Chains A and B, each alone.
Chain A
Amino acid sequence: MTFGKATAWAILGLAFLFYATPILWLLLAAFRDEPMLFSSGPFSIGSFEMFGQTWTNLTTYNDFQIGRWALNSAVYTIGGVTLSLVAVLPAGFVLATYNFAFRKAILVLTLIAMITPNTVVALPIFLQMQAFGLNNSYIGMIIATAFFPFGVYLAYIYYATSLPAGLIDSARIDGASRFEVFTKVALPLSKPLIALVAFFSFLANWSNYFLAFVLLTKDELYSLPIGLAVLVSSSGALGNDVASDIPINKPEAIVAAILVILPVLVLFLASQKYVRSGTLSGAEKG
């Protein structure tokens, strides 16, 4: 191993330790009870019994309300991902492959929308949803989260760089309409793009806190991040004050955090092949 290679490995190793340590701590901490969290070392291992008690405390709270929130989150996320895919893929395709009036203006607007922080659009979205009577509803939350300009831009880049113009010409000569060129030629070749858009859309929607916080006020409609935040703050689990009578303390907060990050981890591991190929496609001539 050369000195350069060794240095590279050393830097990578340090970076890995830096980012992996909190996750490792979180996973181990889920097996410890409150006293043990304070008394033993940071990476000590508790027991399955301790985890079981924590899990019971969390899931029995308010008749397994946390399950309801997880289900809500799944509905919002799957709905948002599906709707954003339906909107984003054709939009990116048309922007990349056809010339029409205001195309450049639409691209610039997409870019501006992409870099506009979520917090800035939350109020207009809230007012819009209120006007349509969609606040505090599944459909309103799904429509709001499906707004995904970054996905439009991803699709635009993918189709502009990875879809050979000859294929579109060829399909047109074969008699395909524009819509059929999209459905029969472009879409079957879009697996990496779909994986990439779905992944980022999932990530944005699953952990979306602010928009859900603005749009949802009924606790039966809460998503997991909102519900857990409300629960943890109302129980004082993360404070050092006298604990409330709700059996939600630090171990429960830790398991709740794992519940939020676990689907993201699993989805990333399952889709990483596509996500990586999607981010690289078009970088080289095939």
Chain B
Amino acid sequence: MAHVKLTDVCKSFGALEVIPGVDLEITQGEFVVFVGPSGSGKSTMLRILAGLEDVTSGAVEIGGQDVTYAAPSERGIAMVFQSYALYPHKSVFENIAFNLRFNKVAKVEVETRVREAARILKLTDLLDRKPSQLSGGQRQRVAIDRAIVRNPDVFLFDEPLSNLDAALRVEMRFEIERLHREIGATMVYVTHDQVEAMTLADRIVAFDDGHIQQIGTPLELYRNPSNLFVAGFIGWPQMNFFPGRVSGVGVIAELGTPVGVNVGDRDLGGSKALTLGIRPEALQLNAPESGDRLSVAGEILSLEQLGHVSYAHVGYGDAPPLVVQLGADAPHGRGDKVRVSLDPRDLHLFDEDGAAIR
């Protein structure tokens, strides 16, 4: 177990700067998830940690040691790849033992450690098989076991569940979470799947365009996104957005027609144009009118019924429809004329640059 520190890490590929300077500290035993869309720099960041990419400038420390220029095998890390990266010509046993053999670990100890690692992820019966004889989930378990057997200070996961089907993904998510609980190692996990991020992370690091957009616990990012990117990226269905502006007397929301909004004591600074955001679960259909609530009349364009919950897409004017979360048995259907309302205290406000106004 070790703590990880990145100091002003920059990475360029030729003239293209992909990471313009990242500072990050990960404490010992923490499970940190890097999330972001494709090309956001999260995987490059992980490969820099692993030593598979050199930094252009900056420093990487693992366990108090400067490993900026250390070879991948000298960093005390183990990595699990999206493609599993198993050696197809070796048996499961030899795949798991490969690193130990390189480090000239005694034969008896190799046997013991491989069998112990195989026990943790229930691979004991498959040790003689070749990777081609395994299912996707089994292959990924071998890849994780290969990391476990090294007893690393830091586990690095590069989108390890992306190639699995939905049911297996849930199962493997649980396995990884259990593994973290059992061995308590520092783990850094890259994904573009926010469900994985929300369920696994002690802290999430949201990346976009090579920059860290926000660091915090999953609920912090969900409830208090620091900017428009995080607000839109975390949470599914996505947060609803609509324009607004600051007038002399307060905030006007463009919700069908301009309507005044009481935003309490939030510091609007010098902002003029705003973006207002609201989560689907904070919207209500046909709620009783009350003084402070904002509301807009619309029509249900489509209704997604997921069994435990439903989502109504309510169109109003030319604006993108509002997504409203409903109970599973809500008595609504496509084409219904409805009134969507919200409590202004649930609104997220963002200035012209996309930064949250709190």
A-side residues, CB < 8 A to B, are 164, 166-167, 169-176, 180, 185, 188-189
Count of A-B contacts judged by CB separation below 8 Å:
52
Q: Are A189 and B88 in contact (CB under 8 A)?
A: yes
Please name 7 pairs of A and B residues whose Cβ atoms are closer than 8 Å in the assembled complex, sorted by A: A164-B83, A169-B79, A169-B85, A171-B87, A173-B52, A176-B73, A188-B87
Residue of B nearest to A176 (CB): B102
The verdict on A170 contacting B81 (CB below 8 Å), with A175-B103, A176-B102, A189-B89 known, is yes
* A167 and B87 within 8 A (CB): yes
Is chain A's binding surface mostly helix, strand, loop or mixed?
helix
Q: Does B45 contact A (CB under 8 A)?
A: no
Contact A173 B78 (CB under 8 A): yes
Contact pick for A175, options B50, B83, B89, B99, CB 8 Å:
B99
Residues of B close to A188: CB separation below 8 A: 87, 89
B60 within 8 A of A: no
CB pair A175 B81 closer than 8 Å = no
Interface residue B195 (Cβ < 8 Å from any Cβ of A): no
C-alpha spacing A183/B79, complex, angstroms? 22
Cross-chain contact B88 with A173 (CB below 8 angstroms)? no
- Contact code string B47-87 (vs A, CB < 8 Å = 1, else 0): 10011100000000000000000011100011101111101
B229 contacts A by Cβ under 8 Å: no
B98 in the interface (beta carbon within 8 A): yes
Task: Determine the residue in chain A with the shortest Cβ distance to B84.
Answer: A166
| List of B residues within 8 angstroms of A176 by Cβ | 73, 102
Cross-chain contact B85 with A170 (CB below 8 angstroms): yes
User: B81: which A residues are within 8 A, CB to CB?
Assistant: 166, 169-170
List chain B residues, Cβ under 8 A from A172. 51-52, 71-73
User: A residues within 8 A CB of B88?
Assistant: 189
Using CB atoms, name the residue of chain A closest to B74. A175
Nearest A residue to B158 via CB reads A166
Residue on A with the closest CB to B90?
A: A188
**CB-CB nearest in chain A for B52:** A169
Q: Are B87 and A173 in contact (CB under 8 A)?
A: no
Name A167's contact: one of B77, B82, B85, B99 (CB within 8 Å).
B85
CA distance A247 to B218 in the complex (A): 93
Identify 8 new A-B residue pairs, CB closer than 8 A, beyond the known A173-B79, A189-B88: A166-B81, A166-B84, A169-B85, A170-B85, A172-B51, A174-B99, A175-B99, A176-B102
| Contact A166/B83 with A173-B50, A189-B89 known, Cβ cut-off 8 Å | yes
Complex Cα distance, B72 from A170, in Å, reads: 9
> 10 smallest A-B Cβ distances: which pairs?
A166-B85, A175-B73, A170-B85, A174-B99, A175-B102, A188-B89, A166-B83, A166-B81, A173-B72, A172-B72
Give B30 Cβ to nearest chain A Cβ, in Å.
21
Bound-state Cα–Cα, A175 to B100, Å: 9
B73–A185 touching, CB < 8 Å: no
Question: Chain A residues with Cβ under 8 A from B79's Cβ?
Answer: 169-170, 173
Q: Given the complex of chains A and B, what is the CA–CA distance between A169 and B103 in angstroms? A: 17
Residues of A within 8 A of B98 (CB): 171, 174
Given the complex, which residues of B lie within 8 Å of A169, measured CB to CB?
Answer: 47, 50, 52, 72, 79, 81, 85
Roughly how many angstroms separate A180 CA and B99 CA in the complex, as a whole number?
12
In the bound complex, CA of A180 to CA of B103 (Å): 13
B50 (CB) vs chain A CBs: closest residue: A173
- B residues in contact with A175, CB < 8 Å: 73, 99, 102-103
Interface core residue of A166, A167, A174, A180 (most chain B CB under 10 Å): A174
Interchain CA distance A189-B131 in the complex, whole Å: 13
| B102-A174 in contact (CB<8A) | yes
Residues of the A chain whose Cβ atoms lie less than 8 Å from the Cβ of B72: 169, 172-173
Interchain CA distance A129-B47 in the complex, whole Å: 49
A173 in contact with B89 (CB, 8 Å)? no
**B99 & A164 in contact (Cβ 8 Å cutoff):** no
Complex interface: chain B residues within 8 A of A180 (CB): 102
CA distance A172 to B99 in the complex (A): 10
Complex Cα spacing A176 to B102, Å: 7
Q: CA–CA, A173 to B83, complex, Å? A: 15
What's the minimum C-beta distance from A162 to chain B, rounded to whole angstroms?
Answer: 11
